[in-house]
Amino acid sequence: MARIKEASPSPTSSSSLAEEESDMELNTIFFKDDRMYRHSTMRINYTTYDVRRADDVINLNMSNCNVMLLSADAHERPNHQYTYAHVLGIYHVNVIYTGSGALDYRARRMEFLWVRWFVNTKDEPVQRSWKRRQLDFLQFLPVDDENAFGFVDPANVLRGVHVIPRFSQGPRYKDGKGISKCAQDGGDWCQYCVGQLVKL
């Protein structure tokens, strides 16, 4: 809701954006022509350590469609400043907002990613892992976990990330069949490592 109101020319205060949306407000959002558009690639621009411009391409036809974002709970878990996700879908919709304060009914493009979340398997400072010459370990949340999936604003993605299966821990499903084809969990491994400084 905050992204739609921000895109809308209507003035809104930061306090109103922070409030929980009511069902009535959600009823004022419409998808133009009831359509949602799916894309197979997206490009992420970022600044390198030597202050140069670079980009990563996320291609859904490739297996390594992983991204990193700033962690929303960095204050509660200061050891991990980043969170990681596997991109399952790249979409955009043309949204019409008819709520209070809207000045017109023009459709505005809104892009979003459908992702499956990784979680850190250990809660120790990243620097300690570096001193031990260890990579950070991740694993997928179970498919039936209510927080396993989510939607992400592409503007919040920092860059693509190389996630390597930790082969010594083995695959999650010995028969290669997962629970959900949409989640693409048939090829899950029990643990993954975050590849540091790998150019995609």
Q: pLDDT digits over 118-139, tens only?
A: 988 765 555 455 566 677 889 9
Domain ranges of the chain: 2-9+27-195
Give residue-wise pLDDT tens across range 139-181.
998 888 899 999 999 999 999 998 988 888 888 888 777 788 8
For the chain, list the strands marked E by DSSP.
Answer: 29-31, 37-39, 41-47, 53-59, 66-70, 82-97, 108-120, 137-140, 149-152, 157-160, 162-165, 192-195
pLDDT score, position 89: 95
Share of the chain above pLDDT 90, in %: 30
d(CA 83, CA 138): 10
**pLDDT above 50 (res 72):** yes
CA-CA-CA-CA torsion sign (165, 169, 173, 174): positive
Cα end-to-end distance, the chain, whole Å: 33
pLDDT-derived band at 110, boundaries 50, 70, 90: very high
